[in-house]
């Protein structure tokens, strides 16, 4: 399915789900007046998926609430570290159930990663050693990054009185995976720790390999 959004003569904008949008590559089409929002499968799935929208709204509200707490305001990121299950339970008031919630887990984890500064494969959280992915949330990133959901992006642009264009409405970059960080220095430290861990492991068990 394709769709496009265009500006009206009075400066407002409208969305059309019928027919094909004009080709923005043609010189007669002004791309600051028109944006092909859902001309790709990825864009349409992001916009139309109710769980992507629900999760993004709920996770953003959860982060905003935590940003007002004393623990999140201190520079130590320890209190901003959570597992998937910890966030799920805080938002929905019940533990994550793999039998009923597994189909939604992928989308939920993608949005958690969207607002995270790093994702560790394991580690300590609240004094307990965890063997699952640990998300470290960044208030700084939250303030500057677009919402994950295109539908929510559109709502915020409308509240701000802005016309959606290709410059201010974009699909999120799913570019952070477990074991990596956005900050290059943090990423380098994580890589050094992995290498040191492998070295210690190899030294400890080298005799067993012979």
In a domain, residue 199? The reply is: no
Residue 67 in domain:
yes
Exposed/middle/buried for residue 48 (C-beta within 10 Å: 0-12, 13-18, 19+) = middle
* Edge-to-edge order in the sheet of strand 134-137: 81-83, 134-137, 116-120, 180-181
> What pLDDT is recorded for position 200?
60
For residues 74 and 15, give the distance between their C-alpha atoms in angstroms, rounded to a whole number: 43
Which pair of structure tokens corresponds to residue 174? 């799913």
pLDDT given for residue 20 in this prediction? 53
Global confidence as pTM: 0.75
The answer to whether residue 21 sits within a structural domain is no
Angstrom distance (rounded) from CA 210 to CA 208: 5
**191, part of any domain:** no
Residue 114 has pLDDT above 80, yes or no: yes
The CA distance from 206 to 204, in Å, is 6
Confidence of residue 148 (pLDDT cuts 50, 70, 90): very high
Higher pLDDT, 54 or 37: 54
Structural domain harbouring 59: 40-178
Neighbours of 183 (CB within 10 A): 12
Confidence category of residue 10, pLDDT binned at 50, 70, 90? low
The 10s digit of each residue's pLDDT in 160-176 is: 998 887 778 889 998 89
Tokens 């929208």 belong to 53
34 vs 36, which has greater pLDDT? 36
Average pLDDT over residues 79-95: 96
Specify the number of domains making up the chain. 1
Average pLDDT, the chain: 81
- Residue 8 — very low, low, confident or very high, per pLDDT cuts 50/70/90? low
What confidence tier does 112 reach under pLDDT thresholds 50, 70, 90? very high
pLDDT attached to residue 209:
57
Of the segments 40-44, 126-130, 195-199, which one has the largest average pLDDT value? 126-130
Model pLDDT, residue 197: 56
Model pLDDT, residue 168: 83
Domain assignment present for residue 15? The answer is no
Q: Determine, yes or no, domain membership for 124.
A: yes
What confidence score (pLDDT) does residue 195 get? 56
Give the Cα separation of 23 and 34 in Å (integer).
Answer: 10
pLDDT more than 70, % of the chain: 70
At a CB cut-off of 8 Å and minimum separation 6, what does 31 contact? 24, 165, 166
């Amino acid at each position: 399915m394709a769709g496009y959004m265009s500006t009206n003569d009075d400066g407002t904008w409208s969305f059309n789900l019928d027919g094909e949008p004009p080709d923005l590559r043609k010189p007669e089409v002004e791309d600051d007046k028109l944006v092909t929002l859902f001309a790709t499968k990825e864009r349409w799935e992001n916009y139309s998926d109710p769980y992507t929208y629900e999760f993004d709204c709920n996770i953003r509200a959860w982060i905003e609430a935590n940003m007002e707490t004393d623990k999140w305001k201190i520079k130590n990121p320890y209190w901003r570290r959570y597992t998937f299950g910890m966030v799920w339970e805080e938002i929905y008031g019940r533990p994550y159930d793999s039998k009923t919630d597994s189909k939604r887990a992928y989308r939920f984890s993608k949005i958690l990663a969207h607002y995270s500064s790093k994702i560790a494969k394991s580690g300590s959280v609240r004094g307990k050693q965890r063997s699952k992915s640990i998300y470290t949330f960044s208030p700084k990133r939250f303030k500057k990054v677009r919402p994950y959901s295109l539908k929510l992006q559109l709502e915020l642009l409308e509240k701000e009185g802005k016309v959606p264009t290709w410059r201010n409405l974009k699909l999120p970059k799913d570019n952070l995976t477990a074991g990596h960080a956005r900050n290059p220095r943090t990423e380098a430290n994580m890589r050094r720790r992995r290498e040191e861990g492998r070295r210690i492991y190899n030294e400890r068990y080298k005799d067993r390999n012979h």
